[in-house]
Amino acid sequence: MPSLDLQIALLKTMVRIRTFEERVRDLFAAGRLPGFVHLSIGQEATAAGACCALRSDDYVLSTHRGHGHMVAKGADTSKMMAELFAKRTGSCKGKGGSMHIADASVGVLGANGVVAGGLTVAAGVGLSIRQRRSGQVCLCFFGDGAANRGPVHEAMNLAVIWKLPVIFLCENNGWASTTSHRYGSSVADLAVRASGYGLTGVVVDGMDAMAVHDAVQVAVDRARAGGGPAFIEAKVVRWQGHYEGDPQGYRDKREIADGKARCPIHRLASALMAAGSLGDEDVASLWRAAQDEIDGAVAFAESSPLPAPEDALQDLFAGC
């Protein structure tokens, strides 16, 4: 039996991500946030499941759909919200925004505006861990769209030949922007490509936080013990458009409805309530706590100053 503490941690993390993302959705729709945002609503189980299998000093490489990864790894949601509001108090002082958000203090070495931009970097983080003998691991999120880019091949091959402690976690939501995985990928299960690198690919239900956690935990334990990298494919459903405002004319609405019927939060909460581990009020209090946290994050962001225009000239180089 999985520990109750872990299940509650997973549920709480998913509730916090959902609450953060829904608030961002509403703020963006109201024209309050500049740029554009890619939300992970519906995909919370991969972020929570994977990051709950990590130590606080482990590293994460994220993607353009990375708010959930940040929250799950322990980033301060007030600084995150301030970043999305383009404020000086943001995680990246307003220089990164949603697509380049990072919090090195919790080991998140960046979202990435370039699809598949993080995989080769993750290999290097793994190399550094090996050289420093620090016992850390690096978990690299990427998507089904990224899986078809060349650097994925180079990074996985390198991680295998150097036996690096890197977990490559593919969140396959079936859509590379507006191009379907079915059309754009040579195989239905991307995990089969793992065998091309001498790895055993693992497919998990990415709508099941415990399943993701357990698969990642196995890979993390093996990597920490010197067993080298892993390739896990988590099948998820993207509830929102590629970006907020995407009319999604290319997509069958039934797919989204099916995804919502498999809500990872509802799934875990129901299981815990059915087992008598949590009551209605326990679950409601998780949502209330998350709402309070995000209310506070928005208030912090709203009351924070914008950067001075000439702050644009700072942070390019160290020591300058």
Partner 1 sequence: MRTLTMAEALREALMEEMARDPRVVVLGEDLRAAAPFGITKGFVEQFGEDRVLDTPISEAALIGASLGAAITGMRPVADMHFADFVTCAMDEVVNQIAKVRYMFGGQVDVPLVLRMPTGNVKGAAAHHSQSLEAWFAHTPGLRVVFPSTPADAKGLLKTCIRGLNPVIFFEHKRLYKVSGVVPEGETLIPLGQADVKRPGSDVTVVATGWMVHRALEAADALAQEGVSVEVLDPRCLAPFDKATLFASVAKTHRVVIVEEAVKTGAFGAQIAAWLAEELFDELDAPIQRAASEDVPIPFSPPMEEFVIPNVGDVVAAVRRLC
Which residue of 125, 169, 199, 204 would you call a contact of partner 1, by CB under 8 A?
Answer: 125
Residue appearing with tokens 């390739």: 231
126 binds partner 1 (CB under 8 A): yes
Of 213-242, which residues contact partner 1 (CB under 8 A)?
none
Tokens describing residue 116: 């598949």
How far does CA 128 lie from the centroid of its chain?
Answer: 22
123 binds partner 1 (CB under 8 A): yes
Nearest CB to partner 1, comparing residues 29 and 312: 312
Choose the stretch contacting partner 1; rule: CB under 8 A; options: 16-24, 151-159, 216-224, 291-299. Answer: 151-159
Which residue of 94, 206, 241, 264 would you call a contact of partner 1, by CB under 8 A?
Answer: 94
The separation between the first and the last C-alpha atoms of the chain, rounded to the nearest angstrom, is 54
Nearest CB to partner 1, comparing residues 85 and 239: 85
Nearest CB to partner 1, comparing residues 41 and 125: 125
Choose the stretch contacting partner 1; rule: CB under 8 A; options: 95-103, 236-244, 264-272, 288-296. Answer: 95-103
Measured CA angle at 21 (ends 184, 306), to 5 deg: 110
Which residue of 122, 147, 170, 204 would you call a contact of partner 1, by CB under 8 A?
Answer: 122
Which of 6, 17, 5, 36 shows the shortest CA–CA distance to 211? 6
Nearest CB to partner 1, comparing residues 164 and 269: 164
Q: Tell me the pairing of strands 138-143 and 166-172.
A: parallel
309 binds partner 1 (CB under 8 A): no
Backbone angles phi, psi at 210, to 5 degrees: -65, -40
110 binds partner 1 (CB under 8 A): yes
Residue appearing with tokens 């946290």: 293
C-beta atoms surrounding 198 within 10 Å: 12
Which of 247, 287, 284, 242 shows the shortest CA–CA distance to 13? 287
Quick one: CA dihedral 76, 82, 84, 90, positive or negative? negative
Nearest CB to partner 1, comparing residues 60 and 210: 60
What is the contact surface with partner 1 in residues (CB under 8 A)? 59, 90-96, 100, 102-105, 109-110, 112-114, 117, 119-132, 138, 150-151, 154-155, 157-158, 161-162, 314-319
